[in-house]
Chains A and B, each alone.
Chain A
């Protein structure tokens, strides 16, 4: 029952720029392997003659992450892509608690009056048991 959170991976690079060499090698060698290993991620490869090469990742909740792949070897791009594939689209900010429950208490939450004898059973000079 596991759904991968990565929807699309768009690889934008230019066929002539020098810093897109790693991207071009990745497209030639490792792109097919990556696509076969992650069958539920769609990989778009579009060459364009523009600025630096980019790797766009779109997630199921709509967040889009851009990563620069200029002057990176194809192994580094593979690692980056696997890391993006394992992430979900939530923002990477400081999370306060490393756990999250919908039902925090099973036996009833503790309050200072649990496990204490009630006033009905206390015998004293003033209190009379009912």
Chain B
């Protein structure tokens, strides 16, 4: 059969490797990464955390602000679960969709519990003598991420 422009798809054809070889390669990579974590060769760690219905990319010593009220008092240490991704300079650990709690530990402290700036909510219809003005002030919490730690227990 003659080859036209539509016989093969336009993307380059990818051949998958052998499953046995792939399993060996995977085990080797996992061992290497475990050894690196155990020796502590990583520099800065970043993590993607699901918190307050939003996903944040955080490193240590950075500030995050929520538009809600947490039950913790100012100065409390909080441990964040629901970690989706952890990465360092050479490797990343991707969770499906979450990583285990015995793998990662993210700690944060509540610094501040303030209110937002006064937002104006006004409704106005012209020629109908209708206007309503409301000032909305939301409570906010400021967290500072203290540490992100990983423990070598991959499999």
Which A residues are closer than 8 A to B by beta carbons?
1-2, 4-5, 83, 85-88, 92-95, 98-103, 106-107
Contacts and interface: CB of A to CB of B under 8 A. Distances in A.
B22 interface: no
B116 A92 contact: yes
Interface in B44-85: 44-46, 56, 58-59, 61-67, 74-75
**Could you tell me the dominant secondary structure of chain A's interface residues?**
loop
Interface in B11-32: none
Contact of B44 (A2, A98, A106): A106
B114 A101 contact: no
Contacts of A106: 43-46, 59, 87-89
Contacts of A102: 61-62
Given A2-B109, A103-B59, A106-B88, 20 more contacts: A2-B75, A83-B114, A86-B112, A86-B114, A87-B112, A87-B113, A87-B114, A92-B116, A94-B117, A98-B64, A98-B67, A99-B56, A99-B63, A99-B64, A101-B58, A101-B59, A101-B63, A103-B62, A106-B43, A106-B87
B87 A107 contact: yes
Interface of B: 43-46, 56, 58-59, 61-67, 74-75, 87-89, 92, 109, 111-118, 142
Contacts, number: 66
A86 B46 CA distance: 28
Given A2-B109, A4-B75, A106-B44, A83 B62 contact: no
Nearest to A108: B89
